[in-house]
Structure 1
Amino acid sequence: MLVKQHRCVHSATCICTKGHLSEDAIFLVLQHQNWNPRLIATLSCVCKWFDDIAKRIFWKEFCRTRAPKMMLDLQSSGTHSVDGNWKALGKLLIYCSGCTKGGLFNSVQIPGHFVYRTRFSRTSGKSFLIPQCRSDVLYVSDPCEHLDQGEEGDLGFFRGVFKSFSVSRVRKMLIERKTKFHPTEVCPYCKAKLWSMLQANMIPRSACNRLGSYDDCIEYYVCLNGHMVGICTLLPLSDSDEVSELE
């Protein structure tokens, strides 16, 4: 079968000097690969044309395949996109940002890493919202556990995303309380500025209960696009919990 090739015209220095496959052909290849995120990321590095189509189509299909119900809900307000972009949301689904010394959480050095699969819950998200903001929709992941981190103990990293953050109660309250952006750090998923929910005094006790963490050892940020990233110190497992884990 003959496959039509299209020549890159966006740059004279592009490495695609012999042309590339059509969007439809590449779509079918990635669909056959079940929207493998590593393959999408690799293609994005080829040239601007591939990066543009990946942001516009491929990451969107990846998100829809990985978390269909969540994506349907995030778009149910009538918009045809998501706050931020599909690439950022795709990364949020599969990437734990970790932390660096002197960085966002001023904690131990834990490199960011990809995770195979993480559960995001809208129900859990309610636990991270103060009562005045419970009408907002927030999806939050289970904590990614990093055990025995020196004096910090067992650390958990979690992440999340708001639905229609631009019109959310959380955003309105952050602005009303004149919460300042973090002076140096940005969102690890979309590079937008970050608000500290701790600084705004908007972290409810229910978040600690949901995560299984100490009350005074939880912190999370929300960016202008509604992505959330946080850290907590996990409570140690009891003997009965350890036995149940082994069963």
Structure 2
Amino acid sequence: IATLSCACKWFDDLSKRVLWKEFCRTRAPKMMLDLQSSGSHSVDGNWRALGKLLIFCSGCKKGGLFNNIQIPGHFVYRTRFSRTSGKSFLMPQCRTDILYVSDPCEHLDQGEEGDIGFFRGVFKSFSMSKVRKMLIKRGAELHPTEVCPYCKAKLWSMLQAKMIPQSASCRLGAYEDCIDYYVCLNGHMLGICTLLPLSDSE
């Protein structure tokens, strides 16, 4: 889809309106039904951005959002997104919001950084969410230079806004003080954590 869209404007228009939507519905049918159940025929940030979020781990670059390490982005063959897991990433007063979050994509043995996990997610109806209202109420600032790798919208740091609950590190199997994630204006989430080492029995 992406290759043909670059070569043909007609196909690009078709892909934006139809093909990416069908791709998302095929890849995660139950999740897509839920994201659209509020009556909207679209999603925040467009279908192409959501399609990319479903299959692409964004990694990180030196001087970017996360730490000072370079881990290239890559396509992911299969990822599980969970609405139940999403609750663990929300402050208690925001847990009526709906957030789907992926299992961490593991990048092991990253030198001094240890075992790194990247995770991503998407809010349902982010523009009406309690998380967005709380970010605005707390005066959270948008990142001055970096943008969402999926839709190019500006990003809020949940760490800077002090909105990362302890339950997030428990859900990820990560060190409590080594987790950070951002949410963009369209409700896409991307994050990083340092994973706890597994025992031999695990």
**TM class by shorter-chain length?**
over 0.9
Q: Output the CA distance in 1 between the equivalents of 2:157 and 2:188.
A: 12
The match for 2:83 among 117, 122, 140 is: 122
> 1:229 maps to what in 2?
190
> 1:202 maps to what in 2?
163
Q: Output the CA distance in 1 between the equivalents of 2:5 and 2:111.
A: 38
Render the CA deviation track for 1:19-65: whole Å, top value 9, x for unaligned.
xxxxxxxxxxxxxxxxxxxxx11221112211111111000000000
> 2:72 maps to what in 1?
111
Partner SS state of residue 152, structure 2: coil
The match for 2:17 among 41, 52, 56 is: 56
Letter in 2 for 1:97: S
What is the correspondence of 1:14-25 to structure 2 with a 5 Å cutoff?
A: none
Q: Output the CA distance in 2 between the equivalents of 1:107 and 1:166.
A: 32
- The structure that has the greater radius of gyration is 1
Q: Output the CA distance in 2 between the equivalents of 1:133 and 1:107.
A: 31
> 1:218 maps to what in 2?
179
Q: How far is the alpha carbon of 1:84 from its aligned partner?
A: 0.6
The match for 1:91 among 45, 52, 55 is: 52
> 2:31 maps to what in 1?
70
Q: How far is the alpha carbon of 1:180 from its aligned partner?
A: 0.2
Render the CA deviation track for 1:169-189: whole Å, top value 9, x for unaligned.
000000000000011100000
| Larger RCO, structure (CA 8 Å, separation 6 or more) | 2
> 2:61 maps to what in 1?
100
Q: Output the CA distance in 2 between the equivalents of 1:55 and 1:145.
A: 31
Q: Output the CA distance in 1 between the equivalents of 2:75 and 2:58.
A: 9
Partner SS state of residue 178, structure 1: coil
Q: Output the CA distance in 2 between the equivalents of 1:109 and 1:231.
A: 13
Say how many residue pairs are matched.
202
Partner SS state of residue 72, structure 1: helix
Q: How far is the alpha carbon of 1:106 from its aligned partner?
A: 2.7
> 1:164 maps to what in 2?
125
**RMSD of equivalent CA atoms:** 0.6
> 2:115 maps to what in 1?
154
How high is the sequence identity, in percent, across the aligned residues?
85
Q: Output the CA distance in 2 between the equivalents of 1:70 and 1:84.
A: 16
Q: Output the CA distance in 1 between the equivalents of 2:180 and 2:16.
A: 30
Give unmatched runs, 5+ long, in structure 1: 1-39, 242-247
Q: How far is the alpha carbon of 1:72 from its aligned partner?
A: 0.1
Letter in 2 for 1:89: L
> 2:138 maps to what in 1?
177
Partner SS state of residue 228, structure 1: strand
Q: How far is the alpha carbon of 1:107 from its aligned partner?
A: 2.9
Render the CA deviation track for 1:86-118: whole Å, top value 9, x for unaligned.
000000000000000110113310000001110
Letter in 2 for 1:81: S
The match for 2:2 among 41, 57, 68 is: 41
TM-score (norm 2): 0.99
